[in-house]
Structure 1
């Protein structure tokens, strides 16, 4: 999804890397997650690691010390409204900024919104069940995943009742700020998908 031709629009690349045995994949949303991923890649002795970075200037996210520590677990709660979440928004990489903005809008509408950052799915999946349940509680089935890659991979996290904002075909050749709206990677579309999952009309 940038100024390239179809041979360089490998929308399946992230899913392929994540499905490769003994291969660790990181898609950080900012410098802090990138630094943690880099540190773990250096320390990893039993297999290779890929860090999938962005050429865009990404916004930096404020975190508590506990959240910074949790990055090393591959997935963690980046934002919580407090209490039982009505809906969980999951994102990685450059899509995190618009996901956080969508969460603010949904919170303003009166919903308890949790935002989960999932920079490394293989590391998150390797965590104990109690931790995974604390981040993505099974009873919260209203979920939306946002990533500019092939959409199908995310069903394992959102389930059949959730929604995915992702790619279902090849990209187009244009600057990212033109293509993101074209493919639905906008605050408005995330909010709309969330409302549908919650069965609420805007």
Structure 2
């Protein structure tokens, strides 16, 4: 019987100095950015502003210059495939009611528009109250506010299956107050759209 021995061949890259990794800090929607540090074991490079970039080439980390057009050229397909980030909205209510304030009536349109721009969505609506009234009354009122928003979204064509509601009463105050204090910023629903 013949024995065949296979010897693996290692293929070397034509150039050891070819780029192994490229890191680019992208701006947030408001223009700010986070930061990242890349290290090669001996040296580190801090990337701490929009479009700051660094690479690892031949095992060595170094800063590089890139502009927005280059980022789009290199990462355009990946950027286009990103899901839409979650959005958070706060709508406010009149005292002891489930009636939106006039400003929040207008803000509701932004919530609706954000949901409609997504092909798939989940909407979480959480109602809150100030500390006026009893705890049971406030729990009921917070749920009533959340349900009112859900019903309005449903009326405007948003799938009921994609909307969850909860009432938190006066448990999660936006502005800490004593009991029996009318605080308009606590009379709210918080809406998260994913």
- Give TM-score, length-normalised by structure 1: 0.22
Q: Which has the larger radius of gyration?
A: 2
Q: Which has the higher helix share?
A: 1
Q: Which has the higher contact order (CA 8 A, sep 6+)?
A: 1
Q: Which has the higher strand share?
A: 2
- Give TM-score, length-normalised by structure 2: 0.23
